[in-house]
C-alpha cells in the first residue's frame, strides 16, 4: 500500500514542506520498527534518533515528546487500517456481514502495534502532550473514522452512516480494553493455563468477531 517515501535523502536540514514530511516519516518508520522489536516501554528518543538518523534535538522539530511520536504513529496505524479495509471490502458485496466482520477482525489482528497504541492512547499518550498536539491527532483520527464509517456503510447499507461511525469507534474502544487481557504478563499466562482458569482467557479474533456480530445485528434492527 502507498506510504510517503521514507528513504534517506541527501539534504542535511529539512527546509521545504516535502523534506520535513520525509524526515517525519523517517522518524515514524524507525519508531514502528523499534516497537516491533522492543515494545512501547523501551522506546526512547535517544534510540529513536539513532535509528532514524536524526539528532535528538532535531526530533523535537517534528514531535514535542516521546508520547507525541507514539500518538502520531497511532494516527498512521489507523490510516493503514483504513487502507486494509478498503482493499478487503473491494471484493465484498453489499450486505455481506460475515465478510465485513472477517475483514475487520483480520485488519486489527494484522496490526498489533495499532492495537497496543489504541490500548494506551487515553491513559498514557495524552498525559504528556499539549492541547495543540491532542487536537491535531484527534482531528486526523476523526477524518479517518469518517472514512472507515463510509467503507462500512457501503457494505452494510442497512446501517446508517452515523451508526457505522459509532460501530467503528466502539470496535476500537473494545480493542483498547481487551488488548492487555489477550497479551497478559508471563505470570498471568501461566495462571490462565490452568484448567480451572482457562475460560477467563479471552481470544482476540473469536471475541471481536462475536462483538461485531452482536453490534451489527443490533444496529440492523434500529
Find the angle CA(118)-CA(52)-CA(73) to the nearest 5 degrees.
15
The whole-angstrom separation of Cα 152 and Cα 171 is 12
pLDDT given at position 14: 54
39: left (phi over 0), alpha (psi -120 to 50) or beta: left
CATH number, domain at 133? 1.10.357.10
Domain boundary among 44, 63, 82: 63
**How confident is the model over 43-55, as pLDDT tens digits?**
888 888 888 888 8
Question: Same domain for 57 and 76?
Answer: no
The whole-angstrom separation of Cα 35 and Cα 38 is 5
- Residue 41 binned pLDDT confidence (cut-offs 50, 70, 90): confident
**How confident is the model over 115-134, as pLDDT tens digits?**
999 999 888 888 878 999 99
The candidate with the shortest Cα–Cα distance to 129, out of 69, 52, 189, is 69
The whole-angstrom separation of Cα 96 and Cα 100 is 6
The whole-angstrom separation of Cα 51 and Cα 73 is 16
Range of the domain at 177: 67-220
Question: Same domain for 94 and 183?
Answer: yes
Question: Same domain for 126 and 144?
Answer: yes
Question: Same domain for 101 and 184?
Answer: yes
Average pLDDT (102-125) is: 93
Q: Which of 66-70, 107-111, 195-199 has the lowest mean pLDDT?
A: 195-199
**How confident is the model over 68-96, as pLDDT tens digits?**
999 999 999 999 999 999 999 999 999 99
Question: Same domain for 130 and 193?
Answer: yes
pTM of the model: 0.85
Question: Same domain for 181 and 75?
Answer: yes
Amino acid at each position: 500500500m502507498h506510504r510517503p517515501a521514507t528513504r534517506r535523502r541527501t539534504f542535511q536540514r529539512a527546509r521545504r514542506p516535502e523534506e520535513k514530511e520525509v524526515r517525519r516519516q523517517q522518524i515514524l518508520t524507525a519508531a514502528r520498527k523499534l516497537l516491533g522489536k522492543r515494545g512501547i516501554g523501551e522506546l526512547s528518543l535517544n534510540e529513536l534518533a539513532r535509528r532514524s538518523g536524526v539528532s535528538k534535538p532535531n526530533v523535537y522539530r517534528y514531535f514535542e515528546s516521546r508520547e507525541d511520536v507514539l500518538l502520531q504513529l497511532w494516527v498512521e496505524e489507523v490510516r493503514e487500517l483504513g487502507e486494509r479495509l478498503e482493499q478487503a471490502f473491494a471484493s465484498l458485496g453489499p450486505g455481506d456481514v460475515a465478510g465485513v466482520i472477517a475483514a475487520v477482525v483480520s485488519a486489527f489482528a494484522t496490526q498489533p502495534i495499532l492495537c497496543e497504541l489504541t490500548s494506551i492512547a487515553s491513559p498514557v499518550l495524552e498525559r504528556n502532550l499539549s492541547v495543540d498536539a491532542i487536537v491535531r491527532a484527534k482531528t486526523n483520527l476523526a477524518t479517518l473514522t469518517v472514512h472507515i464509517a463510509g467503507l462500512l456503510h457501503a457494505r452494510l447499507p442497512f446501517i446508517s452512516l452515523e451508526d457505522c461511525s459509532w460501530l467503528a469507534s466502539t470496535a476500537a474502544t473494545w480493542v483498547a480494553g481487551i488488548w492487555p487481557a489477550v497479551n497478559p504478563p508471563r505470570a498471568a499466562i501461566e495462571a490462565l493455563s490452568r484448567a480451572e482458569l482457562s475460560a477467563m482467557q479471552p481470544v482476540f479474533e473469536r471475541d471481536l468477531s462475536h462483538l461485531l456480530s452482536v453490534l451489527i445485528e443490533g444496529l440492523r434492527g434500529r
